[in-house]
Amino acid sequence: MPSGRGEEETSIASRGIFLPLAAFVVLVDQLTKALAQFFLSPGISHPVLPPIFHLTLVENRGIAFGFFQGGDKILFVVITVSILVLAVIGFRTSPERVRNHLGIGLILGGALGNWVDRIRIGAVVDFLGFWIWPVFNLADTAITVGVGIFLLRFLFLRHAS
């Protein structure tokens, strides 16, 4: 007969998978943004792989693709609530649902990374530019990959953990 304590500790550790991933995303995102702010001048494009990839420091006061510019206060509230909801979902998700934890960790980390920018400077720091896409950052990439994990999971792997 298993002791309740060992199972509880395992369960808590398993549920915590999304938190270290989210923290790692925030750390790497904030580090790369700090480097971009230190080395790049706002609005000046620095070709890395012309014409495909360039570095351009931009402050985005809206959300994805610059939508909702000027809605700072309402965006902050919506994003804060979304972060809290994601954290609750992460803690309530079964430990066996590893893909869900990966997706939640990436989305939560990306949302937190951009949220920190909004607190720190009132805008999101973007700096990665591909010629076919608006300028973005690593937090945006984490959110996109996390959402992609959920899309694949729900479209093709519905019964897999």
Q: CB–CB of 143/107 below 8 Å? A: yes
E strand residue ranges, the chain: 45-49, 53-60, 124-130
- Local structure of residue 65 (DSSP, 8 states): G
Residue from 29, 72, 117, 126 carrying the catalytic annotation: 126
51: preceding bond cis by omega (within 30 degrees): yes
Mark whether 117 is an active-site residue: no
What is the number of other CB atoms lying within 10 angstroms of the CB of residue 117?
Answer: 21
Concerning whether 29 is annotated as a catalytic residue, the answer is no
Query: Half-sphere exposure of 113 toward its Cβ, with a 13 Å CA cutoff?
Result: 30
List 29, 72, 117, 140, catalytic entry: 140
Distances (CA, A) of 102 to 46, 66, 97, 106, 124: 33, 27, 9, 6, 23
Q: Show the tokens assigned to 5.
A: 């304590």
- The residues annotated as belonging to the active site are 126, 140
